[in-house]
Amino acid sequence: MNRLVLATHNKHKVEELQALLAGIKILTLDTFPNVGEVDEDADTLEANALKKAREVFRLTNLPSLADDTGLEVFSLNGAPGVLSARYAGEHATYADNCRKLLAAL
């Protein structure tokens, strides 16, 4: 295995992974514009990452790695979790999400 697709457009994630995996060419979704966005509609962050990695593998036929990030607060029973980016609503800003989170705490 000398190539790996990191299912992201985030250049910083690529730099971090490349530093850990010397000798492996890290490709991104920028290399594969036909992949498009994968709908992250699973119930957990792990399931969303797995869905994305599988879809990117299916479309590129290359080993693929993906992540899904979110904030899981123990005292809020894991909320906001997969809803972290839209915790305060579909078009909420980062500040809106922070305010809602602080109010919930």
For the stretch 26-59, pLDDT in tens is 999 999 999 988 988 999 999 999 999 999 999 9
Q: For residue 33, say if its preceding peptide bond is cis, omega within 30 degrees of 0.
A: no
Active site residues: 68
Q: What is the pLDDT of residues 50-75, one digit of tens each?
A: 999 999 999 999 999 999 989 999 99
Count CA atoms within 13 Å of residue 41 on its CB side: 3
pLDDT at residue number 81: 94
β-partners of residue 28 are: 6
**CA 13 remoteness from chain centre:** 10
How far apart are the C-alpha atoms of 57 and 67, rounded to whole Å?
Answer: 14
Nearest to 97 by CA among 69, 66, 63, 61: 69
